[in-house]
Each structure stands twice: as C-alpha cells, then as structure tokens.
Structure 1
C-alpha cells in the first residue's frame, strides 16, 4: 500500500509530514512542516503552516478538501520518471 510516509522516505524529501491520496482531492490535515501532499502523479510541498493555511484552493474543515485536486495548484510538481520508478517499487 502506498503511503505519504513511504513516498517521502523513498524519494528522500525529508519533510516532517507527508500524506498521499491517489486522486488528490481529500486528505487529513498536515500537522508538521515542512509537509507534502502527494497524489498519483506528483506533489505540493508546504514549507510552513502559514503557506499551507493561506493556499486558496485548500478548504480547511474537519478534513482537508482540495478544490479540483492538488494537480490544479500552481506549486504542483509532476513526478519525473526516476521518481515514478522508485514509487512503483515501494
């Protein structure tokens, strides 16, 4: 099973909290920073709680809802082929 923690460790991102959701639409809340939200194709990194909380497309309610998914955010980064190869083998 793919998890944010496994991706974070496998790709050596060295963030304090990482979460994975295949579709990138719903997550639990990041609690420690820097943090990363991963989806099937890429990620968004937040260096601070302030950056995370001020991102307009993130709806901070009981859980985190991302309007149109994290792939719609300007700071979204696609995994490169090498990163995809690492993730497949986790």
Structure 2
C-alpha cells in the first residue's frame, strides 16, 4: 500500500491494531481529532495507541483543538513514548 492510499482505518486492518478508530498523516504531526477508543495516530512507519480518551486528552505530547498537532518540541509521533514502528 502506498503512503498516499493510507488511512487510519486501512492501517488498523493492515497492521492488525486493536483500535476502534485511527487517523493517518504521512509526516506524523497533524491529525483530525480522535473520538472512539482505543484509537491510534499513525504515520507511514508506525503508530501511537491511546487506550482511553483520558490518555489521549492528557497527553503532554499533543495539542488538541479543532485539529490535533504534535507539540513542536516533539516534532512528530515517532518521537513519542509508546510509538510502535511497523516498517
């Protein structure tokens, strides 16, 4: 699957992630909000799993507004604790 065709839902299936919802961004730093948990934020190489809404909303690595941004001092999700590399 090419990165352009990736979606959070496709990667949940392809990588066999136990999650109800996933969001994908090729560079891993800008996402739509997550609403159903467990949920994942994915980039082209891996993902970060959030078991609960509280874990997601209280993450010091995310800035959650209308959209979700990875905090600038982190860079992207691959620098977050718990990042699972898949390829």
Question: How would you bin the TM-score normalised by the shorter chain?
Answer: 0.7 to 0.9
Aligned length: 80
Residue 29 (structure 1) aligned to one of 29, 33, 37 = 33
Q: Which residue of 2 aligns with 1:63?
A: 67
Whether 1:15 and 2:19 are equivalent positions in the alignment is yes
3-state DSSP of counterpart to 2:9 = helix
3-state DSSP of counterpart to 1:37 = strand
Gap regions ≥5 residues in structure 1 = 85-90
Which one has a bigger Cα radius of gyration?
1
Q: Give me the whole-angstrom Cα distance separating, in 1, the residues matched to 2:61 and 2:18.
A: 25
* Residue range with higher mean Cα deviation, 10-19 or 43-52: 10-19
Divergent runs of 4+, >3 A: none
Richer in helix (by share):
1
Residue 83 (structure 2) aligned to one of 67, 72, 76 = 76
Considering only aligned residues, what root-mean-square deviation do their CA atoms show, in Å? Answer: 1.0
If the length of structure 1 is used for normalisation, what is the TM-score? 0.83
If the length of structure 2 is used for normalisation, what is the TM-score? 0.86
Shift of residue 11, structure 1, vs aligned partner = 2.0
Q: Give me the whole-angstrom Cα distance separating, in 2, the residues matched to 1:7 and 1:17.
A: 10
